[in-house]
Amino acid sequence: MADLLPSVSTDQVAALVELARAGSLRAAAAGLHITEQGLRNRLVALEGLLEVSLYHKQRGPRRRSPLTPQGEQFLPRATAFLESARRLGGNEPAGPQEVHVAATQYLTLYAMLDAVRRFHRAFPAIRVRLSSRTERDIEDALLRDPDLAFGVAAPYEGGSGLDYRHLFSLDWGLITPPRHPLLKKRGLTLADLVGVPLIVFERGSTGRQHVLNAFYRLGLSPRVDMEATTTGIVVKMVEAGLGVSLVPLMPNGSVTRGVNVGVRKLPDQIEPIHSGILIRRGETPPPAAEAFIQFLKPTDTTPPG
């Protein structure tokens, strides 16, 4: 599956890419204006040429993707193939391609940078132009800037004219200075944090809202001593001994890697941060952008350390 075979057609590859985007055979067929059987025929022909199973044939438990692991592996090459075919056909100007993406500061630091590096290695002819913005600014930019392919953020309440495509959810953890008594507390709950100097995110942020709402639902009033705009600053403030904090943790442990702090997970006590792709309603990201989106899906499930 390293290279596309000469007999593979753009229609067959487009069927796979549309199935991944739409999420079901029915929706993909509608998007391509063909019958479901016609879509199946293209997919089966592509599977025969590549000699692998690309999508799930049987109904069963609800899956994150209709594609098999082999299909997910092939998808970035498929989207790049369609992009090349489009340019060769004269539908787009030749020359270096660029995908303009906006992401929150948290996701830029702990998810996007690694994804961009890996994507550039796989597709050196496609450059990613990354902007770091707040959730609200990302939504505003998508609605007014047609050059922005998509945003990566937690969905901002009250947004309109945008569709959300879920990528992953982040659970929360307590971070403290090393050897803090809370690290050894049995059955740690939010009630144990009342009265402890707490560092929270800036006013108006999704993270601050999640944390404070978790306390308020329990009838608790946390002692907020300091505020910061980014998770990186919060972590450094905790390392300096200025207080403790509650932050969303990446599965790969990148939030606290290389920083001298203690970490305790707090499962099911604070609403997870849901993050994903924001696109203009009714639009489909171009193939180059779809190829990059595949690199944003989580692959590392190592527990945070």
Order of strands across the sheet with 198-201? 224-228, 198-201, 244-248, 172-176, 262-265
Residue 155 identity = P
Token code pair at residue 283: 């639009």
Question: What was the pLDDT predicted at 285?
Answer: 84
Question: What was the pLDDT predicted at 243?
Answer: 96
pLDDT in tens, the chain (305 residues): 445 455 778 888 889 988 887 788 888 888 888 888 888 988 998 998 888 999 988 765 555 678 898 988 888 888 777 777 766 655 554 445 789 999 998 899 888 999 999 999 888 888 999 999 888 889 888 888 888 999 998 876 555 688 899 998 889 999 999 999 999 999 999 999 999 999 999 887 888 999 999 999 999 999 999 999 889 999 999 999 999 999 999 888 889 999 999 999 998 999 998 899 999 888 888 888 888 998 988 654 443 33
List, in sequence order, every residue forming a beta bridge with 133; answer none if it has no partner.
none
Question: What was the pLDDT predicted at 2?
Answer: 44
Question: What was the pLDDT predicted at 90?
Answer: 54
Question: What was the pLDDT predicted at 130?
Answer: 94
φ, ψ for residue 100, nearest 5 deg: -95, 120
Contact 96, 125 (CB under 8 A): yes
Token code pair at residue 229: 């705009």
What are the structural domain ranges in the chain?
Answer: 1-94, 96-169+272-305, 172-271
CATH number of the 96-169+272-305 domain:
3.40.190.10
What is each CA distance from 117 to 50, 127, 129, 164, 261, in whole angstroms?
Answer: 28, 10, 12, 24, 27
User: Among 36, 71, 66, 39, which Cα is nearest to 52's?
Assistant: 71
What is each CA distance from 80 to 89, 161, 201, in whole angstroms?
Answer: 14, 28, 39
| Whole-angstrom distance, CA of residue 82 vs CA of residue 80 | 5
CATH fold of 1-94 reads: Arc Repressor Mutant, subunit A (1.10.10)
Predicted TM-score (pTM) of the model is 0.62
Question: Which residues, 6 or more positions from 285, have their beta carbon under 8 angstroms from its beta carbon?
Answer: 149, 150, 277, 279, 293
Question: What was the pLDDT predicted at 63?
Answer: 58
172-271: CATH homologous superfamily? Periplasmic binding protein-like II (3.40.190.10)
Question: Which residues, 6 or more positions from 186, have their beta carbon under 8 angstroms from its beta carbon?
Answer: none
* Matching fold, domains 1-94 and 172-271: no
Token code pair at residue 219: 């009838």
